[in-house]
Amino acid sequence: MANKHPYRFCFGPWNISEGQDPYGPTTRPVQSFDWKLAQLKKHGFEAMMFHDDDAVPEIDSKPESQIRKEAKELKKRLNGLGIAAEMVAPRLWFAPQTIDGAYTSNDPKCRRYAIERSLRSIDLANILGTDILVLWLAREGSYIRESKDAGRCLDYLVEALDQMLAHDKRIRLAIEPKPNEPMDHAYLPTIGHALAVASLTRDSKRVGCLIESAHAILAGLDPADEIDFAMKFGKLWSLHLNDQNGLKYDQDRPFGNVSLRSAFDQVRVLERTGYGTNGEYVCFDVHPFRTTKPEHWMDHLLNSRRTFLRLVEKVRSFDEKAAQKLAADRDYQALDQMVIDHLLGR
């Protein structure tokens, strides 16, 4: 276990949410972006993730010059605070034009809107000083199988990715797969799908991925194995650590709070494969519970980071030699228990 670099942490403004869910309104007072940024700074996180309209609110109603002006002002503030922008992501699931999907909508005008908004997000990323555009393909999928042609939708996706790659020679596209929610079935549900599509683009080297623990679990996969797979291709450019209790709605629970062992396995792979050594951040895509009181508003983020760092210690103190010997002897029963005893602190 040679990886001894310090990890750097980040989250997005949406991770200090106000308690709304599809069935009820906010349960905490609505807070401004400035307040959220101040919280991030105060608690020692190094970077913030941005949807395009987190960076420039109501972006669709503003002229280009205004967008650039606001983005430059934000960059200045971030510099002043010593906070980096980890990525920009076009929010392609709110606008009326994306009701039937974004890049894969059946309406060519809507597909055009999605691409143009993505190109503008790349310009924003440039101003904010990040070369990562995250693509969570929220509505690229189907409810009604017969309403879409999956093969043609893949062509649309590749066409959109190609236009983004052509727009800027330095931008890297990190696809964040999720198998369902809001769609019944997504077109790119796993890392394997994302990397396969990368190979169809004009510059596959600049198309990689972002793994979210909960999304892997929703796909019935092991997040640690997904991480190992992506790292093998040198394509894991960002990470959304969190947790998830089984195959239900997306829960975005604190990292390690459902399965500590799975969290240990994820950290173990990150350590073994050297995630972070090229400047990648560890992001927590977690939400406070709806029941959380305002005075505990940051706890889900602080707890996730605390658990992560404690697991780094656990991984570094795990007797890998003994584990390998047990694996070589095929004494998996003892290996299984060795992990549990280590986590329990014996």
- Residue from the set 111, 117, 120, 178 that interacts with ligand GLO by CB under 6 A: 178
Query: Active-site residue among 5, 34, 53, 54?
Result: 54
CA neighbor of 207 nearest in space, from 180, 227, 179, 233 = 233
Q: Decide the pairing of beta strands 9-11 and 47-51.
A: parallel
Q: Does 243 bind Mg ion (CB under 5 A)?
A: no
Identify which of residues 254 and 315 has a Cβ nearer to ligand GLO in the complex: 254
CA neighbor of 214 nearest in space, from 15, 8, 3 = 15
Q: Position 277: which residue type? A: T
Q: Does 50 bind ligand GLO (CB under 6 A)?
A: no
Q: Does 89 bind ligand GLO (CB under 6 A)?
A: yes
- Binds 113: which of Mg ion, ligand GLO, none (CB < 5-8 Å by kind): none
Identify which of residues 140 and 212 has a Cβ nearer to ligand GLO in the complex: 212
* Annotated catalytic residue 149: no
Is 251:244 a contact under the CB 8 Å cutoff? yes
Identify which of residues 176 and 271 has a Cβ nearer to ligand GLO in the complex: 176
Note the Cα 14 to chain centre separation in Å.
12
Which positions ≥6 away from 133 have C-beta within 8 Å?
Answer: 87, 88, 89, 90, 118, 121, 122, 125, 164, 171, 172, 173, 174
- Residue from the set 285, 286, 300, 314 that interacts with ligand GLO by CB under 6 A: 285
Asked if omega into 182 is within 30° of 0 (cis), the reply is yes
Identify which of residues 262 and 318 has a Cβ nearer to ligand GLO in the complex: 262
Alpha-carbon gap, residue 304 to 11, rounded angstroms = 11
- Binds 53: which of ligand GLO, Mg ion, none (CB < 5-8 Å by kind): none
- Which residues are the active-site residues? 51, 54
By CB under 5 A, name the binding residues for Mg ion: 212, 240, 285
By CB under 6 A, name the binding residues for ligand GLO: 89, 134, 136, 176, 178, 212, 240, 250, 285
